[in-house]
Structures are given as C-alpha cells and as structure tokens.
Chain A
C-alpha cells in the first residue's frame, strides 16, 4: 500500500508573545491508504496540530506535508481550499455545527461546495443522515440535538463529499461512553466499507484497541508506533 499521507520532518512553532511554543519538533509519519490510525498522546503533545496540518487548516513551520503525492504546504490558498473541500472531512471535538442551520442543512452546506444539483444534494443528505442513524432528525437545529447526535451530524458532514481522508479530533471527548462507542463504530464502519483513511486523535488510551495502528506522540515527536493486527470492535471498548 502506498502512503496517502506523508509527514517529513515537520516542525510547528507558535509565537506566543516573547516566547515560542514548539508544538511539533521534527515529526515523521506515513499513513497508507485505507488505514485507521489513532494518534495518542497527552494534552499538549501536538495531536491537534498534526491533524490541522494534514487537513490543510494550518501550514508547517518547516518540513513537508505530502498528501496523495502533493506537498500541500506549498499550495496557494485557492488550491488549499479546493483540497479541503474535495479530499478531507473533519470531525471536531466541539462538533462545530453551524447553530443557525438544521442538521440536514449543515450537511448540505458542505455538499453545495461540490454540486449545485438540488435533488442530488437532498438525496445524499438523506442517505448520510441514515448512515449515522439520524434519518428522522434532519430538521432539528443543533441546539435541539444531544451531543452524540450533534457529533454524528458532524461525521455525516465530514463524509458528505466522499473524502479520501477523515480527520477526527477527540470525537468522543464530549460524549458519554455509549454515545462515544456509537460514534467510533460509525467511523470504523466507514473505514471498512468505504475504504476511507481515518486519522483519529485522542488522549484516551482506551480507544487505542479500535485502530489498525497506534501512534503515540510526545512533546511534538513520535514516541512509539505500533500495528494492531486484531482491532477490537467499538462495543468492546470501555472508559
């Protein structure tokens, strides 16, 4: 399998007033197509930063972020925007649904980036809502949904444009265990059924058994990298 994502000697430094914060210090990582990777690490170890770089939400200070053979760190803003719209789906820790749009509209909001065919948008929205088990909640506003439901809408939105990569940042961080398991299972199924590459970030070691591979980050570098030949089903996880 060829690597769909390749990070080469990536550093990321944030200026914080007088001092500098070194979030990543020469990170190397390759993720093959179709893999389900968990990035594990304590708070502040650089997980979110890594995910943001892969998703084109931020640029590295040094190093290369190569996705599907292209160094996205070098793309101009227009190309980077296109990249995000077409290739990547995000699931954020805080769901980040637009509060003034309904569940269905939040999904359509992403779909409209790639098509203007209303009927297609409607059908795909319905299918995605069904996929995450929210077929009858399309007309609810985020404030009318539970945290788990919101997170599942966010997953549906992330999948809307059939991205080749889904990036999930602490997707269970704000959910109870049962809901968390459902969300994780949804991601896992997606990976298995659609072949989508998933990079999931968490500080929760209990989630690790779900993954094909567990990469531990510490202080902005890879501390360990383990393959897991027998991933556990989400229902077996507990925390």
Chain B
C-alpha cells in the first residue's frame, strides 16, 4: 500500500476511534467468550483427569465382607493389575460440637506412606506417620465446612464410642471430589458426611477386625482388559464374600462429576458460539456501514486513478486491523478469564490439581470467524461501490438520493396528524431500509442476548424455588437402614413441635423395560400424602395412579426406558421382580425419580406388619435443629436431613452455573452496549450532511435529538418482540441442553425480566445515541455541508 494510503487507514481508524473501539470490543468479547467458557469447560475435564491420573484413582474397587490383608498380594499378581491397596472402610456416625449427629466414613490405610491406589492430596499438614495411631487425615470438604485444621481434634463414633483423633492433615481425595456417600445419593453432602483417613492397624484394632480389610482398590496396567481383570479379581475374592465391584466411572463422585460436567457441555459450546456469531454478524453489519459511509471517498479515489484493487486493499486493511486488534485483545482476555473460571470452579469443588491450558483451536476458530467476517465486511461494500462509475459513487448524499422520501404506512393508517418531528422520525426509520435494518438487527441481538442470560438465571431460580417451595413440602427427612414399625412412627408423631409425619418405603431398585434398565431409588408413598407434590405432565391423577398399583416416573426415565403411559415395566426389588404399569409422568427437579403407592410396596415386602424406611416430617421452624438430632438418634437411623440444608447444597452445586451465567450476563451486556452504541453512532454519521443542513436552516439541537430518539424508539418497538422471542427460544434451548439426570430444566422467564430487558435495551440504545447527538451539536455547519463525509 502506498504510504499516504496507509496513513489514511490509520487516520480513518483514529477518526472513527469510538466506533472502531466498539467493534474491537465486540470481536474481543466474541473471541474471549469462546476461549473462556469453552476453554474452562475443557480445563475442568482436564483437571479431573489429571487429578485421577496423578492420584492413581482406582480403576475398580471391590467391596468384600472381610478378607485378610494378604489377599492383596494375590490380586497384585494378576495379569493387568498394576497396584492394589487393601483398606478397611467403616461407615459410622460423628457428633458435631453442637451435638448434631451426622454420618462419617473412616477409611483405614497403611500409615507411613501414601497408598499405591487412591492416594490423597495433602492440602495442609502431613501424611500419617507410622508411629501415630491417634492421627487422622480429614477430607477437605468436611474440613472446610467446619473450619478444621491440623492440630484440631475430631471425634468419630467408633463401635458406639466417641473416639478423639488428632488432625494431622487436610486432604483432597479423588474418590470425594464431590462428596457423595453412595451412588443413589447424588447430592453432595459435605456438611452431613465426613470422610476420615486413619491408620489401618489402629482402625482394625478399634473395630476388632485385626488383620482384616473389606475393600480392595485396583489400578490396572495401561492396556489391561478391564473385564478380564475384574473377572479374575472377583474369582480371587469370592471366598471373602464379594459385595460389589465398582468401576471408576460408576464411583459416586466420578459419576456425579460426570453428570455435572455433562450439563455444561452443550452450554459451554453453544453459548460462546452464539456470542461469537452475534459478534461476527455485528462486526459485519457495522463495518460494512462504516465502509459504505465512505462511498464518496471511494468514488474520489477511483476518480483520481486508484484501481479497484488498491481501494479494496485499503478498506480490507481497515477492517482487518479492527478484526485483528479485537482478536489479540480477545485472546488475552480469554486466557485470563478461562484461568479465572477454572480456578474459581475447581477451588469451589475442591479439585486440587488444576489444569489450565491454552487451546489454540479455540483461538483459531474465533480469530478465523472474526477475520473472515471483517474481511467480508471490508471487501464487499468496497467492491460494490468501486464497481460503480466514479461519477455515480461521488454523487452527494447517496442514501438520500437512493431512498425516496414517502409517507409511512403508520402515518396513513392513523387518523390524526403527527407533528413534523414525528413524521420525520417515522419516515427516517423506514426510508433508508438497509440502515434501518441493520440498526433493527442490532437491537434484536441486544434484546436476545440480555434476555437469554437473564432468563437462564430466572429459570434456575424458578426450578429450585419450585422444587423446594412447591414440590417438597416436608421439613425433615429421616432415612433408616433398619425398617421401622408403626410404633416408631407414632412416637415421632407425638414429639414436640412435630405437626405431621408421613411414612415411606425408600429402596434401591432397577427398572427394566424393553431391554433397557436404570438404577434408581424408588419411593413408596401413601397416594394421598401431602409431603411431596406431584405435577402431572401426562397420565391419570397421582392419587388414582398409585391407588391402582401403578408407578409414576419422570419423563427422562420414561424416555430412557422407551416407555409411554400405559406401558408395563419390571421393577427389580430386593423382594423379587415386580410388574407394574406406568400410570403417569411427573415433573420433578431431580430427573430420575420413581414413585409407587406405599401399600403396593408393603405388599411386595411380604412383611407381616407395615414397615417403613423413611419418615417425612413437617414441624415448627424453631424445632428443626433439635428434630434433626432426635431423628438421627432413632435406632437404625441412617440419615436425617433438613430440607433447608438440602436446598443450600443444591444451590452450591449450581455454582458453576452461576459463574457461567455471570460471565454470560457480562458478555451479553457489554456486547449489547457496543452493538447499540455503534448502530446509533453510524446512524448519525451517515447523515451528517443532512443533519447539518437541518441545523443550518434553524432546527434546534433539541428537535434533532428528539427526532433521532423517536426514530430509535420506532425501531426498538419493531425489534422488541422478535428479540424477546429469540431470547426466550434460545434460553429455553440452553436450559434443556443443561438438563441432566441430576436436574430437569426449562426456560421460565419472569415477566419483570422481559420488561426490564426491553426497557434496559431502549435506554442503552438512547444512551448510545447520545455521543452521536452531541456530535451533531458540534458540527461545523459550513464545513459539514462541504467536506466529504
């Protein structure tokens, strides 16, 4: 490029610095959202894998009734087994300082050095030394929940006795990245379930199990045949009573993490893609307008003798400089944000080994898309204009010349006569179609992005609120490992502060239909109960469904099992296989709920008297803490949960979601502002001469401002409905993609969100027009009517 042409490129950028900057921001936001959100998602996956690898997460864990420690040697000798760690795992209780009982798991491991399989990651303190029977390592989530540090004392209940142990270290464990006691209890429960690592021989001594272990954690060699190894290991362990063999992918924490991440997969790919798309389109539209506004200069260059190619190169450079600057800023921002999100999330979850990587493919994708559209925007209009004969291109006010003034439909339809300002605003809004269309699109985009992010926030709150206010209507839930009779039920009914108790049977089952099967926790409730409200989506009323011996499932379960209402399925229970009819689909937050009538389940058990494994309790609010304690102290109680704690856990699990939404809101807001600002600025710049003329003939700045504002309002009116629709539509699609077995989600946007979005965008658009209006005020009237614009 010739030196003066090059200088012109820079000067043009500087002259339109505000618009150029807005475009740079748009591109940067597009690229950085891709790198940050998609990158963070990948980082999280990588962090899990890295944590599993470096801490030698077991490929399979065998639970046996009791085996000598020495059995480990036999397993280690098997083909495909790289390492074995024998452990003694004891599930017991723990009393918090305020007397509230919770659950605890003691894991006995050889002290002195890290186990070969399922190592722990020391966050604080030291590993257990071999001459320290009182030492304990506390899993980090529990430690964090109760502020435990090395040197503190903890007192798990071992063989019915509070046993003081001294905290030597705080550790993260690959088995408890999400603290979940079993596969059926997906919800994290750091506050109600503590994991403690103690010296194996001491735990054996305390539980009278000298020389015995009940768990073997196996690590496979790199290319081992997993099935064969599991089979061989099972054969070795059969004499000791194999209770379960859990593969890494089925391990509760790993499975919960997988579910958690799954929900974000779609979202972390779609949302940035959408933002990038909006960014790229806005860039295209705006840059195109900027170039088109230089129509006369293009004509002049051609008149002076510059070739089409030279002129195109000039505007291409202009466009690419903006695109490239945006890409560089976006890449930098993206790397920083990805790091921030990954670190925040990983820290929140307690993933110790964080992997933050740079993903060149994401950068490349973002840069390519942005540059391509920048190039297209720079090249397309230039080409079209430089194809015109220079005489044509240089004619004054091409926009005005091309678009004929005419009366608008609105003017003709409405009976009254508008003031001239209103008439002008109306005509302007429809006169230059391309200009109006691109401003309109900008408003649609802005409304869509803002509503979408706002709506997702609304939806999440709505779903949680609905679940904890409308669906779950109990205050405390006690689950028993030994069945209770009506005596216990009547006891609890007479406790102080207890208003109502509903008994239930809850047990793990496998649902089978059509060759597919699904492990779930089945709840058997009295059909007329009021503790858990069913929202029926399809089928008969719950009362009738359950009285008839039918089953209620969530739509996701029915879908996974290819079942329709009226179909029959098999329920594999601890009491044998039962055939039941699917009588209804119910809308639940948790995606894998299944219900039958209490009588139906009682009949299955075959017990001579009614037995229960769960009590739903409604009670006075100020009695809840005490109630929880008392419930847990009932003989055979496995857990006692307050709904309010459960709600808090759910909301904390949604942290990544809120982080995502927060970023999305920032991206959307920033993008909306930049897009609107640009649209408004260009809108005025394109007509500088016309506006200067109006000023010249005496129109006050206020009147011009009113006209421009009105024009904006007209376009906004036309853009609001499609924008809101798109925002709702995309938000709904996002929420659906976010649904997993863990939770069912759909868009539920509050009315005030629609209103605030629409009004907010209008205000932003009007604010975006302000600098442009100020510019009109500063126009040198004599010059503006002369100089090329």
On chain B, the residues within 8 Å of A90 by CB distance are 303-304
Q: Are B5 and A109 within 8 A (Cβ)? A: yes
Residues of B within 8 A of A113 (CB): 2, 304-306
Q: Please tell me if A224 contacts chain B, counting CB pairs below 8 Å.
A: no
| Cross-chain contact B786 with A82 (CB below 8 angstroms) | no
Binds A, one of B388-396, B423-431, B563-571, B627-635: B388-396
> With A95-B787, A98-B788 as given contacts, are A110 and B304 in contact (CB-CB < 8 Å)?
yes
Is the Cβ of A57 less than 8 Å from the Cβ of B391? yes
Q: Which of A106-139 contact B (CB under 8 A)?
A: 108-110, 112-113, 116, 118
Q: B2 and A59: CB pair below 8 A?
A: no
B residues in contact with A2, CB < 8 Å: none
CA distance A55 to B394 in the complex (A): 13
Whether A116 contacts B2 by the Cβ 8 Å rule is yes
Q: Which residue of A lies closest to B784 (CB)?
A: A143
Q: Is the CB–CB distance between B305 and A85 below 8 Å?
A: yes
State A90–B391 Cα separation when bound (angstroms). Answer: 12
Q: Does B15 contact A (CB under 8 A)?
A: yes
Chain A residues, Cβ within 8 Å of B305: 81-86, 110, 113, 161
- A58, A108, A142, A161: which contacts B390 (Cβ < 8 A)? A58
Of A57, A101, A143, A150, most B-chain CB atoms within 10 Å: A57
B308, A85: Cβ atoms under 8 Å?
Answer: no
B residues less than 8 Å from A94 (CB atoms): 396, 786-788
Task: List residues 743-789 of chain B with CB under 8 A from any CB of chain A.
Answer: 780, 782-783, 786-789
Is A20 in contact with chain B by the CB < 8 A criterion? Answer: no
A82 to B306, CA, bound (A): 8
Question: Does A18 interact with chain B (Cβ within 8 Å)?
Answer: no
A230 at the interface (CB under 8 A from B): no
Nearest CB in chain A to that of B308: its residue: A77
A52 cross-chain contacts in B, Cβ below 8 A: 389-391
Contact with B along A57-68 (1 / 0, CB 8 A): 111000000000
Min CB distance B122 to A, Å, is 63
A195 at the interface (CB under 8 A from B): no
B12 at the interface (CB under 8 A from A): yes
> By the criterion CB–CB under 8 Å, are A81 and B786 in contact?
no
A143 B308 Cβ-Cβ under 8 A: no
B390–A57 CB distance below 8 A: yes
Q: Which residues of B contact A81 (CB under 8 A)?
A: 302, 305-308
Whether A99 touches B15, Cβ cut-off 8 Å, given contacts A52-B391, A112-B5, A143-B783, is: yes
Contacts of A92 in B (CB 8 A): 394
A47 and B566 alpha carbons, distance in the complex (Å): 87
B644 within 8 A of A: no
* Cβ contacts A168-195/B at 8 Å (1 or 0 each): 0000001000000000000000000000
Q: Mark B1-17, 1 if CB is under 8 A from A, else 0.
A: 01111011001101100
CB distance from A121 to the nearest CB of B (A): 9
Contact status of A101 and B4, CB under 8 A, knowing A95-B787, A174-B786: yes
Chain A positions within 8 Å of B7 at CB level: 101, 105
Which residues 544-582 of B have a CB within 8 angstroms of A? none
**CB atoms of B4 and A112 under 8 A apart:** yes
* Contact (Cβ within 8 A) B306 A98: no
Q: Which residues of A contact B2 (CB under 8 A)?
A: 109, 112-113, 116
A-chain residues with CB within 8 Å of residue B390 when the two chains form the complex: 52, 57-58, 84
A147 within 8 A of B: yes
**Using a CB-CB cutoff of 8 Å, which residues 489-541 of chain B contact chain A?**
none
Q: Are B300 and A101 in contact (CB under 8 A)?
A: no
Q: Mark B622-655, 1 if CB is under 8 A from A, else 0.
A: 0000000000000000000000000000000000
Inter-chain CA distance A120–B225, complex, in Å, is 80
Please, could you name 27 A-B residue pairs with CB atoms under 8 Å apart, sorted by A?
Answer: A52-B391, A57-B389, A58-B391, A59-B389, A78-B307, A81-B302, A81-B306, A84-B390, A85-B306, A86-B305, A96-B300, A96-B788, A97-B787, A98-B300, A99-B787, A99-B788, A105-B4, A105-B8, A109-B8, A109-B304, A112-B3, A112-B4, A112-B5, A113-B305, A143-B787, A147-B786, A161-B305
- Identify the 8 closest CB pairs spanning chains A and B, nearest first: A85-B305, A100-B11, A57-B391, A58-B391, A112-B2, A52-B391, A84-B305, A57-B390
